[in-house]
């Protein structure tokens, strides 16, 4: 068993907005936290087929950066709110690329639609842009 580097819990700076399904990315000793939501699917107790019901969700496009002075900075938001992007990102050529994420219900067919956004966060200017606005029907 490996030993821990620290023996006690310590207080840390809270993230400006909590909630699940955010992308958390470390680049050049800076922590970037983006997207996420409040609310999520909830299991139906006793369901033999593990059915879930969808609760009201609020999806965010917030972008925060924890700098080397341990202070959160609010950066320009994503062009569109996005969630379920924990593993939907890569650092390429001094940029953070975020692909996909959120699903929405089609207003007419009621089918779930994958929001096929591709976001490009420029690390040199700390500005977001969007490559596409496709909707993929599933």
User: 89 and 98 in contact (C-beta within 8 Å)?
Assistant: yes
> 59 Cβ partners below 8 Å, 6+ apart?
35, 36, 37, 81, 82, 83, 102
7, part of any domain: no
pLDDT of amino acid 91: 93
Domain that holds residue 51: 23-137
pLDDT of amino acid 134: 45
Q: Tell which phi-psi region holds residue 88, choosing left (phi > 0), alpha (psi between -120 and 50) or beta.
A: alpha
9, part of any domain: no
17, part of any domain: no
> 28 Cβ partners below 8 Å, 6+ apart?
123
**What is the CATH number for 35?**
2.120.10.80
Q: Which residue has the tokens 């821990």?
A: 4
Q: Which residue has the tokens 């490996």?
A: 2
The string of pLDDT tens digits covering residues 61-102 is 899 999 888 899 999 998 888 887 888 889 999 999 988 777
The string of pLDDT tens digits covering residues 13-71 is 888 988 888 899 999 889 999 988 887 667 777 877 766 666 677 888 899 999 888 89
Domains contained in the chain, number: 1
15, part of any domain: no
Nearest Cα neighbor of 73 from 13, 10, 11 is 13
65, part of any domain: yes
11, part of any domain: no
Structural tokens at position 103 = 């699903």
5, part of any domain: no
Whole-structure pTM value: 0.74
pLDDT of amino acid 108: 84
């Amino acid at each position: 068993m490996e030993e821990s580097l620290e023996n006690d819990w310590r207080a840390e700076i809270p993230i400006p907005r909590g909630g699940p399904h955010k992308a958390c990315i470390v680049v050049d000793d800076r922590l970037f936290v983006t997207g996420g939501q409040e609310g999520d699917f909830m299991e139906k107790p006793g369901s033999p087929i593990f059915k879930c019901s969808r609760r009201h969700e609020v999806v965010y496009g917030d972008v925060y950066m924890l700098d080397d002075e341990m202070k959160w900075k609010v950066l320009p938001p994503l062009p569109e709110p996005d969630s379920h992007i924990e593993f939907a990102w890569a650092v390429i050529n001094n940029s953070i690329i975020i692909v996909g994420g959120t699903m929405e219900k089609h207003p007419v067919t009621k089918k779930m639609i994958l929001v096929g956004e591709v976001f490009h966060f420029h690390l040199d200017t700390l500005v977001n842009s969007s490559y596409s606005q496709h909707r993929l029907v599933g």
